[in-house]
A and B are shown apart, each in its own frame.
Chain A
Amino acid sequence: MSNETKLYKVIRYVFLVMASIFVIVPLIPLLFMAFKTGAEYSSTSVLQPPASFLNFYNFSYAIRVGKLGKAFLYTAIILTISLVIQVTMTCMVAYVLHRFDFMFKKVVMTMFTLTMFIPVVATQNLIFRMMYAVKLVNTMWSVIILYMGVGIVGIYIMLNQLDSISKEIDEAALIDGASYFYTFTHIVFPLMKPACTTMIIINGIGLYNDFYVPNLYLNRDVQTFTVALYKFFGSMSTPFEIVAAAIIIGMIPILIVFIFLQKYIYNGLAGSVKM
């Protein structure tokens, strides 16, 4: 049963098709450019398709010169370490806040909530000095340390999940003589997996795309993909069609993975609003 009139259905499709065009049009020249030769790029309009979609020279050149493979590897290492630590710590904090009453609980919760007021950009001036003093600038640890912090949105996602896990489960384990630690690691933590998945995907996209922090801290050998791309793109000697190829290389795997996982993005981001 539906109250959707024919007119509404038509309007809906027209609007969605127009929105899709709005999304896709800026992307098309990039795709064309990646397959054009240098001479072709300078002589043809950006909206003219390349002579051949089988010209992979730009791609191989981008991989060879842009050190993108290495940047991908560093990005993967940084993301894996930071996300594992961040998600685990968020679970731990949320578990303690949800299941226990203790003296400074309100204080702890307020401290986490107040970080919403503190924009990352307003703290780096001094953090950079600290990182510099302990010689972590230009190592991936500077970025990992900053990324692993527990955020309030993550805590709320986990608290929501804990609401749906019955307290009786951990009480039973405790009565059977299990320690608090064992109860958390073997009984509650495994049940929090769905929230962990959501958090890994949402924060994974955020950290993968982050530019501000890695650009500030990683300027030499160790680079994340966004910074490597920026350096590649910023150097005047790199022809634009090569940059386009590099971007396509970086974009395709992520688009495939995340469009495939879009269900989690839609549900996860929507869930974090309910806080």
Chain B
Amino acid sequence: MKSKGRSLFIFSFLIIPLLHLIIFSYVPIIGNFVLSFTNWKGFGDINFIGWRNYQRMFTNTEYISMFKNCGWYFLAAIPQLVFALLLAVVINGKFKGLNVFKGILIIPYLLNGVIISTIFIIFFNNTGSLNTILEWLHLDGLKHQWLQDLKLVNPSIASISIWRYYGMNFIMFFGALQSIPTEIYEAATLDGCNKWQEIRYISIPTIKKVLFINILLSVSGSIQVFEIPYIMMNGSNGTSTPVIMIQQSMSENRVGFAAALSVMVFIIVLIVVGLQKILVKED
């Protein structure tokens, strides 16, 4: 038919998004890979220094502890996912006040990192809500300097991600549950299936795949943690993460080292997402 016009049309619709993709995703990641073997300062000559950037990353305890900090965020993801899952199962039905609860429960998902950081500085401060509540309950022994104590600071701020991110998991689980046709529930009820059996044998199996995606999202999310430790602590008190370190190296013009860190983060995410693709397909 009008094949010349057709090719031109396809080309014109794809060219800008594809160029954008190449310039802002593929070029930087390949560039980072090359620059990670240099000590480039952002200007001047580019000198190749072999694996030295990577060696520094894995021998300096400060850098190793950043990657360890990510572990706390992954640990926090476990109660986060359990909470979100329970919430989705429980709210999947028709009852009075449903929309009020849905409205309240979505609030944390709508707030930005600066707001959440402020809220939790007030919460964890020495005279903050947590210590005040503990005082009210006559549990003074449990009072701590949550943000100063080097042992407590990372688990404290990592636990914020439960409050912050459960909402997204919850909405995804809820969506998956809603996709089960109501006839299946009705049939189950007719067959004398009680609510607990229904949750056990219908809801949970359906949600399996989405649960799996959410677990892997949490892993790749915890390696990219930035906002809360950066805004609340500026990475101090041993709360630094790889992304905070990328940012710092960039501002100190240590482009080569920032590139090596970026490549490391990229490789970890690559492994996680790749794992997801392989395991989900098998399902």
Where the two chains meet, the residues of A that have a C-beta atom closer than 8 Å to any C-beta of B are 1-5, 8-9, 11-13, 15-16, 19-20, 22-30, 33, 45-47, 89-90, 92-93, 95-96, 100, 102, 108, 111-112, 115-119, 121-130, 145-146, 148-150, 179-181, 184, 205, 208-212, 216, 225-226, 229-230, 233, 240, 243-244, 247, 250-251, 254-255, 258-259, 262, 265-267, 269-271, 273-274
Contact = CB atoms under 8 A, between A and B. Distances in A.
A9 B103 CA distance: 20
A23 B162 CA distance: 11
A77 B195 CA distance: 50
A126 B265 CA distance: 15
Contacts of B102: 262, 266
B204 to A, nearest CB: 16
Given A3-B194, A12-B90, A180-B5, A150 B17 contact: yes
B113 to A, nearest CB: 5
Which of under 10, 10 to 19, 20 to 34, or 35 or more describes the interface residues of B? 35 or more
A123 B262 contact: yes
Interface of B: 5-7, 9-10, 13-14, 16-18, 20-21, 23-29, 31-32, 35, 42, 83, 86-87, 90-91, 93, 95, 97, 101-115, 117-120, 122-123, 125, 127-129, 132-133, 163, 168, 171-172, 174-176, 178-179, 186, 188-189, 193-196, 198, 210, 213, 220, 224, 226-227, 231, 243, 246-247, 250, 255, 258-259, 262-263, 265-266, 269-270, 273-274
Contacts of A270: 171-172, 174-176, 178-179
Contacts of B90: 11-12, 15-16
Nearest to B108: A23
A1 B175 contact: no
A125 B198 contact: no
A12 B96 CA distance: 11
A121 B111 contact: no
Given A3-B193, A126-B35, 8 more contacts: A23-B105, A23-B107, A111-B18, A121-B243, A146-B24, A149-B25, A211-B227, A269-B172
B195 to A, nearest CB: 5
Contacts of B117: 233
A-B pairs with the 4 shortest C-beta distances? A270-B175, A209-B112, A123-B28, A122-B262
11 contacts: A3-B198, A19-B87, A23-B105, A29-B128, A45-B127, A47-B133, A123-B262, A148-B20, A149-B17, A209-B110, A233-B114
Contact of B115 (A124, A181, A229, A266): A229
B163 A126 contact: no
B20 A258 contact: no
A96 B14 contact: yes
